Amino acid sequence: MASTNRLTKVPGSNSQQKGSSLKDDHVIDETKEYYRQRASQYSDWSRRTGKHEGGSEPDESFFGEAKMLLDALDSEKLTGDVLEIASGTGIWTEALTRHATSITALDSSQEMIDRCKTRLKGNPKVQYVHADFYAWTPDRHYDAVTFSFWISHVPSWKLDEFTAKISHCLRRRGRVFFVDQQRSAMKYEVMDQPGGEIASRTLEDGKTFNVVKHFYVPEEITRSLRKNGIETRVSNTPNHFYYARGEKAP
Ligand SMILES: C[S@@+](CC[C@H](N)C(=O)[O-])C[C@H]1O[C@@H](n2cnc3c(N)ncnc32)[C@H](O)[C@@H]1O
């Protein structure tokens, strides 16, 4: 293990954040339930199949830019013990195995974890944690924390709690890497109100869910991370995505 530091106190918790309400917390639960029920259809989005076939943009540019994200992750060489938040079906977990010594893949959906396990074929580097990240208590520090297509599901009222917890999970000089969609993708969402952060999503069986979807301006995220001792640089791919690389202060 690259880091043996144990944690003593965890900031944030599953207790309600200042400014949030039970209604707000309900949308976080509904977001988890949406992904739990979507697990079997999830690869449709990344493969541009099913209802996403053809997609909102030519597939060639989508796949080309998705490859840029994987290349950016690879060139980051996240070595040591890596925490992956919201690991989903393991697209990124698999890529992480190239450089990491160990990967803790955390997701709130057992159905997602099962798919990740299938993809990773028993790779001994990966440990799975079935938990809600907000409620989870880490018991150690990591060399790197990463999350893909996840931060847009962190509502603004929890952003500082989230970045504080990332910082707490990291050792000094520990690294952060994350990717998500650019704000231009907002036009494909049915938002509850202009500039809102709750989207209506419908699964193939017709069930509709209210899901947190906040299209952050990158500066909102970098400012919040900086408050917690993490400096980050954000880069855009031409049309669809951005990726961010950061490091916690020594
Ligand atoms: C958009 S998917 C991203 C999955 C994966 N990172 C990828 O890029 O393919 C969001 C993931 O977050 C998980 N999730 C949702 N709410 C969560 C929470 N509160 N704590 C942990 N995982 C959560 C979902 O189960 C889902 O796997």
pLDDT of residue 1: 34
SS3 of the chain: the string is CCCCCCCCCCCCCCCCCCCCCHHHHHHHHHHHHHHHHHHHHCHHHHHCCHHHCCCCCCHHHHHHHHHHHHHHHHHHCCCEEEEEECCCCCHHHHHHCCCEEEEEEEECCHHHHHHHHHHHCCCCCEEEEECCCCCCCCCCCEEEEEEECCHHHCCHHHHHHHHHHHHHHEEEEEEEEEEEECHHHHHHCEECCCCCCEEEEECCCCCEEEEECCCCCHHHHHHHHHHCCEEEEEEECCCCEEEEEEEECC
pLDDT of 187 reads 83
| Residue 8 pLDDT | 42
Q: What is the pLDDT of residue 59?
A: 63
Q: Does residue 178 line the site of ligand 1, with CB under 6 A?
A: no
What's the pLDDT at 30? Answer: 97
57 CA → ligand 1 middle, Å: 23
115 Cα: distance to centroid of ligand 1 (angstroms): 13
pLDDT at residue 56, rounded to an integer: 52
Report which protein residue has its CA nearest ligand 1's atom 13.
86
| Residue 131 to residue 108: CA distance in whole angstroms | 5
Q: Judge if the beta carbon of residue 104 lies within 6 A of ligand 1.
A: no
Out of 150, 162, 177, 209, give the residue to mutate to test ligand 1, the one with the largest number of ligand atoms within 8 Å of its CB: 150
CA 228 to ligand 1 centroid distance, Å: 23
b/e code 131-143 from CB counts within 10 Å (16+ = b): eebbebebeebbb
CA of 127 to the centre of ligand 1 (A): 16
Which residues of the chain are modeled with pLDDT < 70?
A: 1-23, 43-59
Q: Which of 60, 79, 96, 55 is nearest to 179 (CA)?
A: 96
The confidence score (pLDDT) of residue 45 equals 58
